[in-house]
Amino acid sequence: METNALKIASDAVLNPGQDLDGLRAQGIAQLQKLAPDTWSDHNVFDPGITLLEVLAYVLSDLSYKLNYTVEDLIAVEPGESLAPTQFLNLEQVMFSHCVTLADYRRLLLDITEIKNITISVRDERATGATIFDVIVLTSPSAQASQDSLREKIHHTFSAARCITHQLGKIEFYQSVPVQLGMHLVLKDAQDIVHVMADILSKVALEISPNLTRYTSQELLDKGMYVEDIYVGPSLSNGFILDEDLESTPVKKHLYSSDILDALRVHPNIEQIEEFRFIVDQGAQPGYEYWQVEVQDLDPSSVNLAPELGFLSTQFFDAISLVIEGQSYVLDEDEIASIRYAIGERIVEHTSGLAEQVNQESHRFLPLSQYRSLQHELPQVYALTEQSLNRDIDSDQKAQLLQFKGYLHLFDQILADQHKQLDVLPHILALPQYTHFERLGQIMDRMLSSEALSQGQLDEFWHRVKALPHTQLSQAVTGISGVNHLVKLALDAYQQQGLQQQLESDFSVAQLTRLNDSIAHLLARFAIKLPNANLLKYREVFGFYVNVIGACQNDPSEHEDLLLRLVLLRQYIDKCRLLNEIGALGENRCRGFDYLSKEPKTAHTASLSRLVMRSLGFSHHGQMPLATHNRESFYLLESDLLGNDSSGNLYCVLPNWTTRLQNNAFRALVESQIGKFKPLHLSAQCVWLTREQMSLFERLYFGWLNFYGQAQRERFAEGQAHIASVAADIGGLLETVLVSEPGTMIENIINYVLAKPQGMEVLEAYLVQILSEYAYEPLPNEIEIDEQSYAQVRSAVAQIINEHSALYPDGFSEDQVLYLATQLCIDHICTPNAFAQSSNTRFTVGYSPLPFLKPILPVSFSQINSNTAVVSKFIVATSVPNRIDPEGNEE
Q: What is the pLDDT of residue 620?
A: 63
Q: What is the mean pLDDT of residues 112-126?
A: 82
Query: What would the pLDDT profile of 480-510 be if each residue is shown by its tens digit?
Result: 667 666 766 666 776 666 665 667 889 998 8
User: Rounded to whole angstroms, what are the CA distances from 512 to 301, 398, 508, 559?
Assistant: 70, 40, 6, 13
* Overall average pLDDT of the 646-660 stretch: 88
Average pLDDT (311-329) is 89
pLDDT digits (tens, 9 = 90+) for 127-172: 556 789 999 999 887 788 888 999 999 989 988 888 878 888 999 9
At residue 409, φ and ψ (nearest 5 deg) are -60, -45
Residue 666 has pLDDT above 90, yes or no: yes
SS3 state of residue 319: strand
pLDDT of residue 747: 94
CB burial string 280-299: b at 16+ within 10 A, e below: eeebeeebbeeebbbbbbee
| Per-residue pLDDT tens digits for 526-574 | 788 888 889 999 999 998 998 898 877 788 888 999 999 999 999 999 9
* DSSP states along 800-843: HHHTGGGS-TT--HHHHHHHHHHHHHHHHTSTTTTT--TT----
pLDDT above 50 (res 396): yes
Q: What is the mean pLDDT of residues 763-767?
A: 90
| Cβ atoms of residues 592 and 600 within 8 Å | no
Cα separation, 518 vs 524, in Å, equals: 10
- Within 10 angstroms of residue 352's Cβ, the number of other Cβ atoms is 11
Between CA 781 and CA 289 the distance in angstroms is: 90
Q: Give me the sign of the Cα torsion angle 382, 388, 389, 394.
A: positive
Specify the pLDDT at position 603: 56
The residue-averaged pLDDT of 247-272 equals: 90
Give the closest residue to 372 by CA, choosing from 383, 362, 363: 383
E strand or H helix at 60: helix 47-66
As a whole number of angstroms, the distance between CA 831 and CA 838 comes to 8
Note the helical H segments in 161-318.
192-207, 216-221, 226-229, 242-247, 256-264
Which pLDDT band, with edges at 50, 70 and 90, does 834 fall under? very low
Round to whole Å and give the CA distance between 323 and 780: 108
Contact 163, 607 (CB under 8 A): yes
Cα(516)–Cα(529) distance, integer angstroms: 12
- Per the model's pLDDT, the better-predicted residue between 295 and 84 turns out to be 295
Interval 336-348: pLDDT, tens: 999 988 888 876 5
Please compute the mean of the pLDDT values over residues 347-369 and round it to a whole number.
47
Q: Are 293 and 156 in contact (CB under 8 A)?
A: no
Map out the domains of the chain with their CATH numbers.
Answer: 16-67 (no CATH), 91-174 (3.30.300.30), 175-210+248-346 (no CATH), 373-581 (no CATH), 582-828 (no CATH)
| pLDDT digits 0-9 by tens, 407-464 | 877 888 888 877 777 777 766 677 777 778 899 999 999 988 888 889 999 999 999 9
How much is the average pLDDT of 67-94? Answer: 69
What pLDDT was estimated at residue 285? 60
> Which pLDDT score, from 0 to 100, does residue 615 have?
92
Ramachandran sector of residue 370 (left: φ over 0; alpha: ψ -120 to 50; beta: rest) = beta
The whole-angstrom separation of Cα 220 and Cα 228 is 10
At residue 885, does pLDDT exceed 50? no
> What pairs with residue 24 in β-bridges?
none
User: What pLDDT sits at residue 696?
Assistant: 92
Neighbour-count burial for 80-95, b at 16+ CB within 10 Å, e otherwise: eeeebebebeebebbb
Give pLDDT, residue 879: 32
pLDDT computed for residue 164 by the predictor: 79
Task: Check pLDDT > 90 for residue 397.
Answer: no
Kindly tell me if the per-residue pLDDT of 363 is higher than 60.
no
Quick: pLDDT tens for 284-311: 566 667 788 888 888 888 899 999 988 8
- Other C-beta atoms closer than 10 Å to the C-beta of 634 total 25
Cβ neighbors of 196 (< 8 A, separation 6 or more) are 321, 330, 334, 338
Structural contact between residues 58 and 414, judged by C-beta atoms closer than 8 angstroms = yes
Q: Is 71 helix (H, G, I), strand (E, B) or coil?
A: helix
Q: Do the Cβ atoms of 459 and 438 come closer than 8 Å?
A: yes
For residues 678 and 439, the model is more confident at 439
List, in order, residues 6 or more apart from 647 with CB less than 8 Å away.
128, 164, 638, 639, 680, 681, 682
Q: Is 663 exposed, middle or buried (0-12, 13-18, 19+ CB in 10 A)?
A: exposed
pLDDT digits (tens, 9 = 90+) for 215-233: 888 998 999 988 888 888 8
pLDDT band for 108, please (50, 70, 90 cuts).
Answer: very high
| pLDDT at 737 (0 to 100) | 93
Read off the pLDDT of residues 4-30 as tens digits, 9 standing for 90 and up: 555 666 666 778 888 888 888 898 899
pLDDT level of residue 105 (50, 70, 90 thresholds): very high
835 burial class (0-12, 13-18, 19+ CB within 10 angstroms)? exposed
How many residues appear in the chain? 890
pLDDT over 60 (residue 356) = no
- The Cα 732–Cα 155 span in angstroms is 27
Q: For position 720, what pLDDT does the model report?
A: 75
Contacts of 367 (CB under 8 A, 6+ apart): 65, 418, 419, 421, 422
Closest CA to 76 of 431, 304, 359: 359
The C-alpha angle with vertex 80 and arms to 77 and 83, in degrees rounded to 5, equals 95
Q: Which of 590-599, 836-845, 861-870 has the highest mean pLDDT?
A: 590-599
- Residue 843 pLDDT > 60: no
**At 386, is the secondary structure helix, strand, or coil?**
helix
DSSP per-residue codes, 476-523? --S-TTHHHHHGGGHHHHHHHTTHHHH--TT-HHHHHHHHHHHHHHHH
Measured torsion, CA atoms of residues 298, 299, 300, 306, in degrees rounded to the nearest 10: 40
* 831 compared with 174, residue with greater pLDDT: 174
Among 148-152, 350-354, 362-366, 865-869, the range of highest mean pLDDT: 148-152
On the question of a cis peptide bond just before residue 777, with omega within 30 degrees of 0, the verdict is no
Amino acid sitting at position 539: E
- CA count, 13 A, side-chain hemisphere, 59: 18
Confidence label for 107 from pLDDT (cuts 50, 70 and 90): very high
Separation of alpha carbons 269 and 274, rounded Å:
13
How far is Cα 642 from Cα 703, in angstroms, rounded to an integer?
11
- Residue 421: count of CB within 10 angstroms of its CB: 19
Average pLDDT in the 167-180 region?
A: 91
Rounded-to-10 torsion of CA 355, 358, 359, 364: 160
Amino acid found at 366: P
Report the distance separating Cα 529 and Cα 513, nearest Å: 16
Q: How far apart are CA 669 and CA 612, in angstroms?
A: 9
Pairwise CA distance, residues 707 & 729, whole Å: 9
Per-residue pLDDT, 359 = 37
**Is residue 357 pLDDT above 90, yes or no?**
no
| CA distance linking residue 62 with residue 17, whole number of Å | 8
d(CA 652, CA 662): 16
Are 451 and 887 a contacting pair, CB within 8 Å? yes
* Section 185-209 average pLDDT: 90
- The whole-number average pLDDT for the span 273-294 is 74
* Range with lowest mean pLDDT among 31-35, 214-218, 279-283, 770-774: 279-283
Does position 385 have pLDDT exceeding 70, yes or no? no
Q: What is the pLDDT of residue 296?
A: 82
Looking at residues 184-210, what average pLDDT do you find? 90
pLDDT of residue 835: 44
Residue 118 CA to residue 139 CA, distance in Å, equals 14
Q: How far is CA 517 from the centre of its chain?
A: 21
pLDDT exceeds 60 at position 3: no
Using CA atoms, how far residue 40 sits from 32, 33, 49, 394, in Å, is 8, 11, 11, 27
Per the prediction, the chain carries an average pLDDT of 79
The pLDDT, as a whole number, for residue 808 is 84
Report which of 684, 685, 728 is spatially closest to residue 706, judged by C-alpha positions: 728
